[in-house]
Structure 1
Amino acid sequence: MRVLYNIVAGLRAVSALRQFEQEPLHQVYDGIKDVARQQVSDGTFRVTDPAELGVDSVKQHSGYFDFEQNNKHLFFWFFESRNDPKTDPVVLWINGGPGCSSIKGMFFEMGSAKVEPELKLVDNPYAWNSNASVIYLDQPVNTGYSYSSDEHRVNSTRQAAKDVHRFLNKFFEVYPEYAELDFHVAGESYAGHYIPAIATEIQSHKEKNYELASVLIGNGVTDTKTQVPYFQAMACGEGGYPSVLSEDTCQQMKDAVGDCQKLIEHCWENPKNKLQCYATMNYCLSVSVEPYMREGGRNAYDIRDVCSKTGCYEDENIAIESYLNDEHVQTVLGVKDIEHVGCRGSVGNEFGLNGDYELPFQYDVADLLDSGLPVLLYSGDKDFRCNWLGNKAWSDKLEWKGAKEYSEAPIKRWHANVDGKDIAAGEVKQSGELTFLRVFDAGHMVPHDQPETSLDMLNRWISGGSFE
């Protein structure tokens, strides 16, 4: 009866079905100067050279892949490696949300430059294209600069994964000089859904013009049933940071875990019941995340911080959005008449209403590991929202062919090489194809909080994967 009551409680949020309105889509016009068009088998690339913006001195491409058979347009910005682009790997970076822009993530986290409050660009010496060429992709459509017609909006991870593979296949068709290089997919947060699905989609195509070398998932949401108890654990002092909630609130959160997990199980058993999965998401968030937000006003992405009344990371967010909405910047990038929003709420709402949030993607990870694909799970240990405790828990219990050996693997200290010095950067558990990395003193956005050690992490991984 209690579970039934909680389903009913969650269904109260279904009023959003009546209130929900899609954000208007922006019409994009031709006529931007210096746009090169290249027709591919089932679409078109519209590309410009954005070097004049001064984000980096390396070779760059930005623009759109236009899907021919449906009105979808994915925006990307590509930077060659600062080292040796002829031999260095290629990395695809995607932010989470759903609906959060990878272009904003680029400037906020690991991109070639940061945006100062006066919109001045400052070089980032720890950019991820130091030893790899990087593609930043705004996906799914209607995220960031990407857009579509109403009838071709995307509201599921599986659907988004198909679009990403299609984009990649055409990207390497247009730029074959990168197709033979090692290729990795990296991302964070809801990329704990995206990346397992994208990798599964890629591996399902035997005939393609590129090969996937590995995946990297940072502070991801992947196995919600296993991860949900660790909201309480992280907020209440079990994650290496003192409790930030009262004893009563901690107990209430703990008491609600069982019901939430039962609801998630029902969703997994009946994934086509989207309304039930949506109600489950609302109920579980209300008992696991909202108490943390309500009681302390703390940053969900960094337990150490208390946010201002206007939000977290306010100065950085304003600067980046102002830059990305500058008319000259958009013209140079090949964009016209699109309001860039860092995280577009309508995209997240559509995924939620479609029941996508609670769906399990750990089984994809297990299949990928069984196929021999290396997987790196890295977690900043001061994040609350997708915390390291939950990510360690689901990876520890994951059933795959190397599970026994992984369970017996020791946890070792990871020392990063930063400016020629070895520093204690985290802890690592590694066996076979699976690596779990705890990153000390980083929140949800690891490259933002620990730029030096995150670059060391990436360089180690793409050069062989050893953290010894």
Structure 2
Amino acid sequence: MVKIPPFLLPLLPLCLLLCFSLLHRADASGTVDGSEHWGYVQVRPRAHMFWWHYRSPHRIENDSSPWPTVLWLQGGPGGSGVGFGNFFEIGPLDNNLKLRSSTWLRKADLLFVDNPVGTGYSFVEDTGLFVTSDEEAAIDLTTLLKKLYNKHESLQKSPLYIVAESYGGKFAATVGVSVVKAVKAGELKLKLGGVVLGDSWISPEDFVLSWGPLLLDVSRLDKNGAENSNSLAEKITVQLKKGLNRDAERTWGELEDFIASNSNNVDFYNFLQDDDSSGSITTVGSYEESFARRYSRYLSIKAASSSSSSSSGNLHDLMNGAIKEKLKIIPKNVSWGAQSDDVFDALRSDFMKPRIKEVDELLSQGVNVTIYNGQLDLICATRGTEAWVQKLKWDGLTDFTGANRKALYCDGNEAGATKGFVKSHKNLHFYWILGAGHFVPVDQPCIALKMLGDITHSPATASSH
């Protein structure tokens, strides 16, 4: 037993406080200039979620129009927002650590989270701690937001926009509802600016039903192929109505395999292209097994093709090398993305469940809901998104449907090419983005940035006019 000298006893409380502070700070760090902060939140015992916050250098202080914050939620499930969203889509640097001219920091602060636990740098110490439903993921993410926001007044002043892509849209809808409840209960000090659903997997049933007709229209399936696709999609509909979610998920894998083999491997993220990663996919069910891997591979190919550097910008090497070294607080035994496949596996029973009800609840609560869709997306096809929107019970739906669309141009240049359309009524907004596939910020960065400014009412947008 260690004996403490008597003259040190009066200093013991201060020492303990300092030790506690150092232990706490070991879970968080940041840059010297305060432009970046990152850290871990233990959302449950032995379940650790990683976050990374960027303060925009373009920030404009305006009390009447506060500077917004975007919380980016990646898809998969198992896709890393800290990795993919940050370095491939909207962060300040690309995957070759070169400055990105179209970074969303031009319009907002950015908060990337590796959600759910097990994704990216987030990790669990016990495999039984992976979330098995979107609701469980929402609880964890709300816990993280409470830890970040409740003690930081600067964050509280910035309205939060939850922006999602792909399966991340299901997380956004559920966490949006959770945040509204927590704020009303006084448990979370946060101003929710809105929820933004980008090419989001909100209603799997409506998407699979859209695939056959769409691929027939663009000549990637013939009449026989479209009919067989429709037959499998209708089988999924029946399975979902019976609550056979795992069976529906297996049939979904079978349907994707059928489409791949009968379309000569159409790209599910851009139906005008071939899927370069499909050559090795030959067995039924392999599409569902490799969904998270294909998601990663596609972004890697896009990033490499659009990069000015000759480097391929391998994200796995970057995240487990230079970025891990920069962050310093990632445990040595944690490898970026090592548990991502387990995240997907744990959520299989929820994968095909719709989240239309949650979108309805957000609208009824007065939350601004924005939907945007890339014209060339197949996995979350625009016609599928339009179909699930028509299932909303929101009382403004009829007026929304009857409203006129407005054409969109990049940088407000109406003499240029049409880049998209937007329709709004009350707190529901829908953007059609032309020339983009599943990854809108990658395919159409200019119009995506303009859209973000309009959604968030960023002071930077106002000052640019």
The answer for unaligned runs of 5 or more in structure 1 is 1-34, 52-56, 268-275
How do 1:15-94 residues align onto structure 2 when only pairs under 5 Å count?
39=24, 46-50=27-31, 59-67=35-43, 70-84=45-59, 86=61, 87-94=66-73
Cα 1:464/1:46, change in 2 over 3 Å: closer
Per-residue CA shift, 1:81-129, capped at 9, x if unaligned?
Answer: 222265411110010111110012211111111123xxxx111111111
**Partner in structure 1 of residue 260 of structure 2:** 293
Greater strand percent: which structure?
1
Q: Which of the two has higher C-alpha Rg?
A: 2
- Give 1:257 shift: 3.1
Amino acid at match of 1:278: R
- Aligned pair partner of 1:212 in 186, 192, 195: 192
- Aligned pair partner of 1:163 in 140, 146, 168: 140
Amino acid at match of 1:225: E
Asked whether the 8 Å contact 1:192–1:217 carries over to 2, the reply is yes
Q: In the comparison of the two structures, how many residue pairs are matched?
A: 402
How do 1:361-400 residues align onto structure 2 when only pairs under 5 Å count?
361-400=355-394
1: CA distance between counterparts of 2:208 and 2:275?
A: 23
Structure 1 window deviating more from structure 2 (438-447 vs 175-184): it is: 175-184
The answer for unaligned runs of 5 or more in structure 2 is 1-19, 281-296, 305-311
2: CA distance between counterparts of 1:156 and 1:122?
A: 37
Q: Secondary structure at the match of 1:181?
A: coil
Structure 1 window deviating more from structure 2 (438-447 vs 312-321): it is: 312-321
Asked whether the 8 Å contact 1:58–1:81 carries over to 2, the reply is no
Per-residue CA shift, 1:222-250, capped at 9, x if unaligned?
Answer: 1223332111122222xxxx221233211
How do 1:69-468 residues align onto structure 2 when only pairs under 5 Å count?
70-84=45-59, 86=61, 87-104=66-83, 105-116=85-96, 121-150=97-126, 151-205=128-182, 206=184, 207=186, 208-237=188-217, 242-267=218-243, 276-287=244-255, 289-295=256-262, 296-308=264-276, 309=279, 312-315=298-301, 316=304, 319-326=314-321, 328-333=322-327, 334-337=329-332, 338-341=334-337, 344-352=340-348, 355-417=349-411, 423-463=417-457
Given the two structures, how large is their TM-score scaled by the length of structure 1? 0.80
Q: Secondary structure at the match of 1:188?
A: strand
Amino acid at match of 1:319: N
**Partner in structure 2 of residue 18 of structure 1:** none
Cα 1:167/1:313, change in 2 over 3 Å: closer
**Partner in structure 1 of residue 4 of structure 2:** none
CA RMSD of aligned residues (A): 2.6
2: CA distance between counterparts of 1:135 and 1:102?
A: 9
Asked whether the 8 Å contact 2:48–2:124 carries over to 1, the reply is yes
1: CA distance between counterparts of 2:418 and 2:21?
A: 47
1: CA distance between counterparts of 2:335 and 2:125?
A: 16
Q: Secondary structure at the match of 1:369?
A: helix
Runs of 4+ residues over 3 Å off in structure 1: 35-39, 309-318, 418-423
Asked whether the 8 Å contact 2:300–2:315 carries over to 1, the reply is no
1: CA distance between counterparts of 2:95 and 2:252?
A: 36
Asked whether the 8 Å contact 1:381–1:388 carries over to 2, the reply is yes
**Partner in structure 1 of residue 9 of structure 2:** none
Given the two structures, how large is their TM-score scaled by the length of structure 2? 0.81
1: CA distance between counterparts of 2:248 and 2:331?
A: 39
Cα 1:109/1:93, change in 2 over 3 Å: same
